[in-house]
Every structure is written in structure tokens, then in C-alpha cells.
């Protein structure tokens, strides 16, 4: 299986945020689902322009294409913000994600360890607010069957991990079905047994689909 065919995880929500206060400094973690570096950079720029009076806008983003990772401490001591945030995203297994933690300085220094904990927490809260979905490959299948075999076909589908997306009642009944990739042979074997070899599923396309896992 190639890298392009493997399951991967992305934020469940397109956007999420959460905030907390640590020794009078306010930290707000914001997280987006993005597809390109340009989109990630645009979100970072938007935060800097919208919250221009904030002390820091530290960020991290990961893209599936090219396994691209970028981060910035944005003026905080080196290694105290961007890398801890990137570690949170990597630990969650996320790609196509951009996280910005904005800090309004409250007048009390947090120290190196305190900053690492604060920016880690900001990213963790943003991830928790967004949720996580796993993207897996699913095949779209067409199954045409006579009306007298429709009931038998319907009974087989749940056990074969199939979900009916559409039914067309024409000369025959034609079902559009979604199934995880790799199960087609088992489905066709079950259909053949139940219909005396008269009904089979035909694969039309394969696409990634998401389901929430966290």
C-alpha cells in the first residue's frame, strides 16, 4: 500500500478554538483543517491581522502531501512554543492541520518550562475542541438485481460492511453502495451464493471518507 492509499487523520471540525489564563497571560488555541501551505499561511496571517495587539502568534502546521511540517516560536524563547505545538499535532496523528496559539502577555514571566506547558496546553485544547476524524478508502459499488432478489441482497449487505446510499427502481433494482476497500471479493461471493450467481457488485470509484474517532 502506498502512502497515498493509507488511512490518515484530520480535524473533525473545519475550525475550533479554546482559551485559558496562566499567570494573567491569556492563551487562545485555534485550529483549522487545511489542504495546502498557502491556506495554512493565510490562517496565520489572518490571526496576526485580526489580533494585532497580541504579544505572540505561535503556530504549527502539518500537511499530508509531502509530509510537510512547519512551526514558529514567534519571538518566544526558542523551542518553547512552535515545537511543543507540533508535537501535540504529531502525537494526535493529525495531518492537513494548522494550529495557532495566541498569547496576550499578563506581566508575569512563565519561564521556559511554563511556556512549554502553556503552548502545549493551548494546542491540546484546540485539538480537543475540533475533534479527530479518520479518513479511510471506501469503494462506491453498483448492484443491479431483479425485484424478486432485492430482499436477499438487502440482507447480505450489513454483514459485508455495506451502506446503501441510493436505490433506483427501474427495470431492475439498482443499489448504490459504499463499502471499505478490500471487501469486494467477499461481497460478491456472498451475493453469488444467495442469488445463484446472478447478482454481482461492480466497483465504480474509490474515495476517502471520514468517520469521527475522537
What is the SS3 assignment for 34-47?
Answer: CCCHHHHHHHHHHH
Categorize the per-residue pLDDT at 1 as very low, low, confident or very high, splitting at 50, 70 and 90.
Answer: low
Q: Could you give the CA distance from residue 94 to residue 59 in angstroms, rounded to a whole number?
A: 15
3-state secondary structure of 4: helix
Provide the pLDDT for residue 3: 67
pLDDT in tens, 102-126: 999 999 999 999 999 999 999 999 9
> What pTM does this model have?
0.84
What radius of gyration, in Å, describes the C-alpha atoms of the chain? Answer: 24
Please state the rounded mean pLDDT for residues 16-24: 96
Residue 170: all three cell numbers together: 427501474
Contact in structure between 203 and 140 (CB atoms under 8 Å): yes
Residue 5 has pLDDT above 90, yes or no: no
- Percent of the residues in the chain that have a pLDDT greater than 70, as a whole number: 99
pLDDT in tens, 32-87: 999 999 999 999 999 999 999 999 999 999 999 989 999 999 999 999 999 999 99
* Nearest residue to 165 (alpha-carbon basis) of 191, 146, 138, 140: 140
Q: Could you give the CA distance from residue 174 to residue 166 in angstroms, rounded to a whole number?
A: 8
Contact in structure between 206 and 4 (CB atoms under 8 Å): no
CB atoms within 10 A of CB 184: 17
Please state the rounded mean pLDDT for residues 168-173: 94
Which residue reads 526558542 in cell numbers?
Answer: 78
> Between 164 and 4, where is the model more confident?
164
Amino acid at each position: 500500500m502506498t502512502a497515498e492509499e493509507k488511512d490518515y487523520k484530520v480535524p473533525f471540525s473545519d475550525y475550533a478554538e479554546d482559551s485559558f489564563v496562566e499567570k494573567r497571560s491569556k492563551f487562545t488555541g485555534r485550529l483549522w483543517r487545511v489542504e495546502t501551505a498557502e491556506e495554512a499561511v493565510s490562517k496565520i496571517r489572518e490571526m496576526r491581522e485580526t489580533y494585532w495587539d497580541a504579544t505572540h502568534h505561535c503556530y504549527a502546521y502539518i500537511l499530508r502531501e509531502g509530509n510537510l511540517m512547519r512551526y514558529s516560536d514567534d519571538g518566544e524563547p526558542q523551542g518553547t512554543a512552535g515545537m511543543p505545538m507540533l508535537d501535540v499535532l504529531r502525537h494526535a496523528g493529525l495531518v492537513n492541520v494548522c494550529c495557532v496559539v495566541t498569547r496576550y502577555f499578563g506581566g508575569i514571566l512563565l519561564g521556559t518550562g511554563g511556556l512549554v506547558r502553556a503552548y502545549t496546553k493551548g494546542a491540546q485544547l484546540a485539538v480537543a475542541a475540533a475533534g479527530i476524524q479518520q479518513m479511510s478508502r471506501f469503494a462506491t459499488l453498483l448492484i443491479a438485481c431483479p425485484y424478486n432478489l432485492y430482499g436477499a441482497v438487502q440482507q447480505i449487505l450489513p454483514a459485508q460492511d455495506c451502506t446503501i446510499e441510493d436505490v433506483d427502481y427501474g427495470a431492475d433494482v439498482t443499489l448504490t453502495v459504499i463499502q471499505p476497500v478490500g471487501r469486494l471479493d467477499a461481497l460478491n461471493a456472498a451475493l453469488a451464493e444467495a442469488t445463484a450467481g446472478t447478482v454481482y457488485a461492480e466497483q465504480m470509484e474509490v474515495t476517502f471518507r471520514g468517520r469521527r474517532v475522537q
